[in-house]
Amino acid sequence: MKVLMKVIMEGKQDTVKNLYRHDLLEGDCMGKKDYVETLKTGLDIVGKMAAKGVTSISKGIRGDEREDMENRATGLYYQRHILPAFGDLIPRMEYYESINQNQLVAGFVKKMIRSPADRSFVNACFALIYGDFDSALVSLSEALTADPQYTDCYFLQGAIYLTQRKFLRAEEAFSKCRLLPTGLGTKIRKFIPSFRLTICITDCVSFTFYPDILALNLLLAISQRDGNKLPSAIATLEQILSVMPSSPELTFFLAALYYEALWDDKLIELLKELVPADNMQILTVQFLVKSFMFKKNLSLAEGILQKSLESDNVDPYLLADIKMLLGEVAKGSGRVAEGTSYIQKVSQAYPGYQELTKRLGLARRNEPLAKHLVQDMIPPMPPMPAPPVYGTAETPSQPTSINLQEPVVAPGAMTVLTPVDMLPGELTGVEPGRIKLKSRDGKVDMIMPDSITIGREAGDLILSWDASASRSHARIFHDKGQIWVEDIGSSNGTWINQHRISDKRAFNKGDNLLIGKTEFYLE
């Protein structure tokens, strides 16, 4: 150990190599494979440390600046379950991490091999845990300086700015994150796995946003709406709903914005097939009822409300919402005594009751929003996860979900995209030899052969410059007039248009293929 420490302090790489050769070739470990491999790994690390020098090593050791500070309970055990916040459409951050957990406090070796961006990101996570948002933002900026495409930094930036009511900055951060969705949530789940944002609906029901594609677009729309950009918020949700039509969360928030915009016709069209049977549907149907009430179609409104009362396992406060609306409908229909009875029973059971729109801070406009404003503000379509190849619906590991009376949120079921079978695209029928495979960094420009294997160390195309690529990463090949890509056991995955493929996938003109950090396209 003394010899190794001396090597490190003096930065003598040759000494490390000689020691390595001596132990492997002349020592007592000949034939002892496990010992040899362990020694080889250890000395490789020591060699890297020696190359870095004392200054870099010291900086690495100091990488986690707050690990000696006392931890405190936050979010998860304080904010929502003890003191729900109502009256605005601003998600609250929740997390509870122990400083002693390995996700945050790394050992000596892990600190050494972390990138500068990761070290700054970890410091931002520490700052979040201690409620120091300003320091967290500084660390996130440092991480983005080191790696401008660090997706999770933009997501955390947006979450902090949204919590601080800096809506324009939140919109900017989420917009940048929207353009870089690859790996979204990976670092957040690694270092602060309990992190999420919530909007309280009742004392026991809330929307929970995890760092995924759906939550990102919802949070972007919320930032735009809270920043007095209702047309932009509606345009964002309408665009994403067009590619994620089965998302009940998107439907709910779009209905809420239609309600604010006074677009009752579009709201009715959006929810015309909604059947109130669970908490999510009971929440959403309230906007439909209010639209019918506004149009004086009280019989339809009452029919929907009566149907809602037949639902099982619904939160009592949401049933109180339905009964209060029934009271208003009954009074509007001339049945004053019946309507008053409904309203009084709800008021007695829930003193200080507030209807859903007030709990969420939704403000109905005095006149309808001009539709051309929304049409003029359609944002550019971000890269979206593509549908699975063989019609198998994929659910994110931590989807945005409705949380019901559980202190620790379990992922809920959610349909992300309507799956479709992949069909041959623009390159159908193209003969081998007429297509070029190119990389966007200009390092690859070649005629596409019948089949090519790509990897960092093995294969037909060697990406020696890309440390993120696996030794043998992916294969591209022709089959029946179509070019296909398949992953061959890589660590970081093979991605087409920001969707990680699990089986062979069609690769067409205009598609973006990501292997490691190298982006390919066909010409």
What is the spatial distance between Cα 314 and Cα 279, in angstroms, rounded to a whole number?
6
Query: Do the beta carbons of residue 454 and residue 444 sit within 8 Å?
Result: no
Which position has the higher pLDDT, 76 or 362? 362
Domains 62-245 and 262-360 share a fold: yes
CATH number attached to the domain at 436-522: 2.60.200.20
What is the spatial distance between Cα 523 and Cα 508, in angstroms, rounded to a whole number?
9
Among 47-61, 122-136, 165-179, 418-432, the range with the most confident prediction by mean pLDDT is: 165-179
> Which token pair is 322?
């339905």
CATH number attached to the domain at 262-360: 1.25.40.10
Look-up: residue for tokens 């019946």? 338
**Structure confidence by residue, pLDDT tens digits, 287-326:** 999 999 998 999 999 999 999 888 878 889 999 999 999 9
Q: How far is CA 355 from CA 268, 304, 316, 337, 470, in A?
A: 20, 17, 13, 21, 55
Q: Burial code of 192-218, b = ≥16 C-beta within 10 A, e = fewer?
A: beebbbbbbbbbbbbbbbbbbbbbbbb
What is the spatial distance between Cα 338 and Cα 92, in angstroms, rounded to a whole number?
39
Region of poorest pLDDT, from 48-57, 162-171, 339-348: 48-57
> Residues 6 or more apart from 138 whose CB is under 8 A from it?
none
Closest by CA position to 519, among listed 185, 149, 188, 243 = 149
Query: Do the beta carbons of residue 317 and residue 350 sit within 8 Å?
Result: yes
> Which token pair is 516?
């490691």
Q: What is the mean pLDDT of the chain?
A: 75
Segment 186-193 shows an average pLDDT of 86
Region of poorest pLDDT, from 381-390, 429-438, 481-490: 381-390
**Structure confidence by residue, pLDDT tens digits, 136-151:** 999 999 999 999 999 9
Q: Within 13 Å and on the Cβ side, how many CA atoms surround 466?
A: 25
**Structure confidence by residue, pLDDT tens digits, 340-381:** 999 999 999 999 899 999 999 998 988 888 877 776 666 666
**Domain ranges (residues) in the chain:** 2-60, 62-245, 262-360, 436-522
CA angle, corner 92, sides to 360 and 217, nearest 5? 75
Closest by CA position to 239, among listed 415, 58, 448, 383 = 383
The CATH class of the 62-245 domain is mainly alpha
Amino acid at the residue 132: D
> Residues 6 or more apart from 434 whose CB is under 8 A from it?
none
